[in-house]
Amino acid sequence: MAKNSGYTGPLEQVGTCQWRIPKTYRDDMRVDGLIFADESLIAQIKKDQGPEQVVNVATLPGIQKASLAMPDIHWGYGFAIGGVAATDPEEGGVISPGGVGYDINCGVRLLRTDLAWDEVKPRIRQLVDELFREIPTGVGQRGRFLFDKPKLSRLMEQGSAYVVEQGWGTVRDLGFTEAGGRLDGADPDRVSDRAFTRGYDQCGTLGSGNHFLEVQVVDRIHDQEAADVMGLREGQVTVLIHSGSRGLGYQVCDDYLGVFKGAPKRYGFSLPDPQLACAPVRSPEGQSYLGAMRAAANYAWCNRQLLTHQAREVFARVLGTPWESLGMDLVYDVAHNIAKFEHHQVGGGISKQVCVHRKGATRAFPPGHPEIPDEYHKIGQPVIIPGSMGTASWVLAGLPGSMEQTFGTTCHGAGRMMSRTAAIKLAGDRRIDKELDAIGIIARARGHKGLAEEQPAAYKDVDQVVEVVDKAGISKKVARLRPVGVIKG
């Protein structure tokens, strides 16, 4: 199956923003495929083989209800990015590293401040320059926080609490992080020495690709009640951090793809794509991967916590005020690439525990859900949707429709519309940083290539993507944020 050949199979519109690929399309499908998109987005989505990957995921043993895809879907490794699948461990359900992704617990966190844009604007260039100087960005960049194997083991077991105990955050930060910044069952003994080596000096570093730290301004409020609860107001300065588990998480994924390579044959099932390599959740291989994946996820939460600490230090130094006095509190932190055990309705009024794979997708639990902070019980879990560095980002809140339709899930970003190679070719000799500067966005990166790869034209329209999930009733629009400064690898 060629990545760029385009999808030619069936797509039936079954709702305002829902398109079904019936399980009759292929004999090996166990459930339907279901893509959330409007007519304009579905035309873009069909241009690559992302929908065929939705079909492939529908063949996984133990899959429940449907193989799902969010409106930011695009081609990925095994699963499409934007893919969601829940499997039942008691029905031979599988766990797939390709359904989590190479960057385990890539995710985002949003910090609010008490600062108005008018206060920060005269110092924004200095602020961005200082952030770029102090926060390590780019491939292989070494951070200032070093963790030998015993310390790294404790960090991966305890998650964010470990770095907070060292003085690099607050107890409040933990309460406003998905899962409290820690997945139970993390097992550092299942993580390879190579992954430990890669993780030694990368916690507290931003990385490359689409990872960034962005200074933003609240552009527009759509739901005043929810915005008030989150502490957001128009004209306010915020900080958005997007990063994951760095080389450690990549190595964990790579290691277990090798372990899982022969698992389907051993357990008596076949797959349409070797990139879907998987094993039953209850198998030794499945349990080993879960222990390592959770350890990498905890590392990623620590990474974002240390990035937060460094950003707070820079703001305090540049503005000459302690960060606490600047009101730099965490709104929320959400994971994008993860597999978690959750209770969901799977049809016929039956609720059971399933293993939910979210690959480039965001948890979006509704009001009253026991796993979200008490402060957000009335409005639903905050959902943070980054756009490209030249367009808006969004804050949403989870709705009951997410539990009914998508295993408590919504989109995770704008979604790429062209490959990095194509984006570099499109940029040619242009200076993306100068183009952004001309529209009031200061961008700093290790090189022009990184900015070219991530230029706004490489992505779908984030406003359109967010409109789909809002209309579908899986998450609602709360606030729109526009970038004024960004640092990237």
Residue 428: the pLDDT is 77
Mean pLDDT over residues 321-349, rounded? Answer: 96
When mean pLDDT is compared across 84-98, 256-270, 435-449, the lowest value belongs to 435-449
| Residue percentage of the chain with pLDDT more than 70 | 97
Secondary element (H or E) of residue 424:
helix 420-427
CATH number of the domain located at residue range(s) 12-91+99-417+459-488 in this protein: 3.90.1860.10
The helix/strand/coil state of 133 is helix
Active site residue 412: yes
Residue 245 predicted with pLDDT over 90: yes
Residue 316 predicted with pLDDT over 80: yes
Q: Nearest Cα to 292, choosing from 261, 342, 251?
A: 251
Residue 451 predicted with pLDDT over 80: no
Residue 484: the pLDDT is 97
Q: Tens digit of pLDDT for each residue in 166-211?
A: 999 999 999 999 999 999 999 999 999 999 999 999 999 999 888 9
Secondary element (H or E) of residue 234:
none
Q: How far apart are CA 35 and CA 83, in angstroms?
A: 9
> Domain-by-domain residue ranges, the chain?
12-91+99-417+459-488
Residue 417 predicted with pLDDT over 80: no
Confidence of residue 389 (pLDDT cuts 50, 70, 90): confident
Q: What is the DSSP string of 268-318?
A: T---S-GGG--EETTSHHHHHHHHHHHHHHHHHHHHHHHHHHHHHHHHHHH
Residue 432 predicted with pLDDT over 90: no
Using CA atoms of 181, 185, 187, 191 in order, give the dihedral in degrees to the nearest 10.
-70
Alpha helices in 113-269 (DSSP H): 117-120, 124-134, 149-158, 160-165, 171-175, 193-199, 224-230, 246-260, 263-266
Q: Across all residues in the chain, what is the average pLDDT?
A: 94
Residue 421 predicted with pLDDT over 90: no
Q: Tens digit of pLDDT for each residue in 460-487?
A: 689 999 999 999 999 999 999 999 999 9
Report which of residues 449 and 358 the model is more confident about.
358
Q: How far apart are CA 477 and CA 482, in angstroms?
A: 15
Mean pLDDT over residues 420-430, rounded? Answer: 73
**Residues annotated within a binding site:** 103, 210-214, 242, 336-337, 386-389, 393, 412-415, 488
Mean pLDDT over residues 29-38, rounded? Answer: 98
Confidence of residue 416 (pLDDT cuts 50, 70, 90): low
Parallel/antiparallel/unpaired status of strands 409-410 and 362-363: antiparallel
Mean pLDDT over residues 128-151, rounded? Answer: 93
Q: Say if residues 67 and 45 touch (Cβ distance below 8 Å).
A: no
Residue 2 predicted with pLDDT over 70: no
Confidence of residue 141 (pLDDT cuts 50, 70, 90): confident
Residue 55 predicted with pLDDT over 60: yes
Q: Tens digit of pLDDT for each residue in 60-78?
A: 999 999 999 999 999 999 9
Q: How far apart are CA 40 and CA 37, in angstroms?
A: 8
Q: Say if residues 318 and 126 touch (Cβ distance below 8 Å).
A: yes
Confidence of residue 5 (pLDDT cuts 50, 70, 90): confident
Residue 1 predicted with pLDDT over 60: no
> pTM score, two decimals?
0.96
Mean pLDDT over residues 390-398, rounded? Answer: 94
Q: How many CB atoms lie within 10 A of CB 259?
A: 17
Residue 138: the pLDDT is 83
Q: Which positions ≥6 away from 26 have C-beta within 8 Å?
A: 55, 59
Question: Which of the residues 74, 377, 412, 448 is marked catalytic?
Answer: 412
Residue 50 predicted with pLDDT over 70: yes
Mean pLDDT over residues 111-130, rounded? Answer: 98
Confidence of residue 3 (pLDDT cuts 50, 70, 90): low
